[in-house]
Amino acid sequence: MTDETVTTDESVSTESEITPEIDPDPASASDLESDQPSAATTSTDRNGTTESAGFNTTESSVGEAIIEARDINVWYDDVQALTDITMDIPEQGVTAMIGPSGCGKSTFLRCINRMNDLIDAARVDGDLSLAGKNVYDSDVDPVALRRRVGMVFQKPNPFPKSIYDNVAYGLKIQDVDGDHDEIVENALRKAALWDEVSGRLDESGLELSGGQQQRLCIARAIAPDPEVLLMDEPASALDPVATSQIEDLIDSLAEEYTVVIVTHNMQQAARISDKTAVFLTGGELVEFDDTQKIFENPDNQRVEDYITGKFG
Ligand SMILES: Nc1ncnc2c1ncn2[C@@H]1O[C@H](COP(=O)(O)OP(=O)(O)OP(=O)(O)O)[C@@H](O)[C@H]1O
């Protein structure tokens, strides 16, 4: 199998990239309206994270910029999907990308690990640095880059392999050294799945529930020990209980990894992210700031209109 198997934006499929399927399921305007974060009480969760009015106000884990995008423009053939995107994504913590359907959120995510390379029609212009190195430099190997930048998609997409092999797959194809049994166990523990699967690692990953499958995909993504974890609507295909588990998991993963998440669910963005980027139609990054600022007091009127559900 080549690692250049590409179909459409709805199905970028290749096991060797550990990037099987993208299946956008855009939220409707009513979903967005019902997702408005509302003023609530102040509480402290199990991690000591203070939530004021539903916002994640954890400051400690967010560090210096690890991803620096400068004037990123992306076209699919003649259609421009992103326009002059410049932003610094801090190390660790959670950065959320929100905005209406088609505004380029997933396209931007795919710039970070060069998944857009796999789409024939896509052309990327600009600089995007990971830890100071432009990932678009000619000496960067995209497969090695994707070891540093893991990705999880909207629909859980385990391979038709055992639970163990799903997690070990990336280790094998990327020639990761070390004790694979130990790495698989650690990844499953970090993905909060170990206790549920430790006695049946030989069973097919496809036999797990949807939420378990998504945690398996997260374990697969973190097994090669990436620095960055990209998540493209990782909970939108899951029920509320599984969604809540994934949100808790993201919270704990963000202590170790830089998490960049695309979500249509504004309450989710408000709950779990430290920073929020708002993309609007035309592939523009309209505002990027602390999540609480974006949701409570955005500078841009269009962002306020979007956040308050005046348009979706
Ligand atoms: N593989 C592709 N080929 C051609 N055009 C594409 C492709 N992928 C995305 N596009 C177009 O690029 C624009 C941005 O799409 P993208 O999926 O990045 O937006 P998005 O904000 O993530 O949307 P959604 O929230 O619906 O997933 C859209 O106009 C889309 O139709």
Distances (CA, A) of 192 to 29, 34, 165, 166: 33, 29, 17, 15
Calculate how far, in angstroms, residue 301's C-alpha sits from the geometric centre of ligand 1. 24
Q: Which residues contact 212 (CB under 8 A, 6 or more apart)?
A: 193, 196, 197
- How far, CA to CA in Å, does 82 sit from each of 96, 134, 218, 311? 17, 18, 27, 20
Distance 27 CA to ligand 1 centre (A): 14
201: Cβ–Cβ under 8 A, 6 or more apart, which residues? Answer: 162, 163, 164, 184
Q: For each of the chain's 312 residues, which pLDDT tens digit applies?
A: 333 333 333 333 344 444 433 333 333 333 333 344 433 333 333 334 444 455 554 444 567 899 999 999 999 999 999 999 999 999 999 999 999 999 999 999 999 999 999 999 999 999 999 999 999 999 999 999 999 999 999 999 999 999 999 999 988 887 788 999 999 999 999 999 999 999 999 999 999 999 999 999 999 999 999 999 999 999 998 999 999 999 999 999 999 999 999 999 999 999 999 999 999 988 999 999 999 999 999 999 999 999 998 876
Contacts of 264 (CB under 8 A, 6+ apart): 26, 27, 31, 32, 35, 98, 101, 233, 236
Sorted by where each begins, the domain ranges of the chain are: 15-64+92-116+138-307
Distance 262 CA to ligand 1 centre (A): 13
Q: Specify the ligand 1 atom closest to the Cα of 26.
A: 26
* Domain 15-64+92-116+138-307 in this protein, CATH class: alpha beta
Helices (H) and strands (E) in the chain, counts: 11, 13
Report the DSSP beta bridge partners of residue 73.
125
Which of 32, 106, 262 to probe ligand 1 with, by most ligand atoms within 8 A of CB?
A: 106
Predicted confidence at residue 310, as pLDDT, reads 81
> What local confidence, expressed as pLDDT, does residue 54 receive?
58
Question: With a threshold of 0.90, does the pTM exceed it?
Answer: no
The answer to whether the CB of 100 is under 6 A from ligand 1 is: no
Q: Whose CA is nearest to atom 16 of ligand 1?
A: 104
Residue 133 and residue 140 in contact, taking contact as beta carbons nearer than 8 Å: yes
Q: If 0-12 CB within 10 Å is exposed, 13-18 middle and 19+ buried, where does residue 21 land?
A: middle
Angle at 72 between CA 68 and CA 77, to 5 degrees: 150
119 C-beta closer than 6 A to ligand 1: yes
**Ligand 1 mean position, distance from CA 23 (Å):** 11
ipTM more than 0.90?
Answer: yes
pLDDT at position 177: 86
Nearest alpha carbon, ligand 1 atom 24: 101
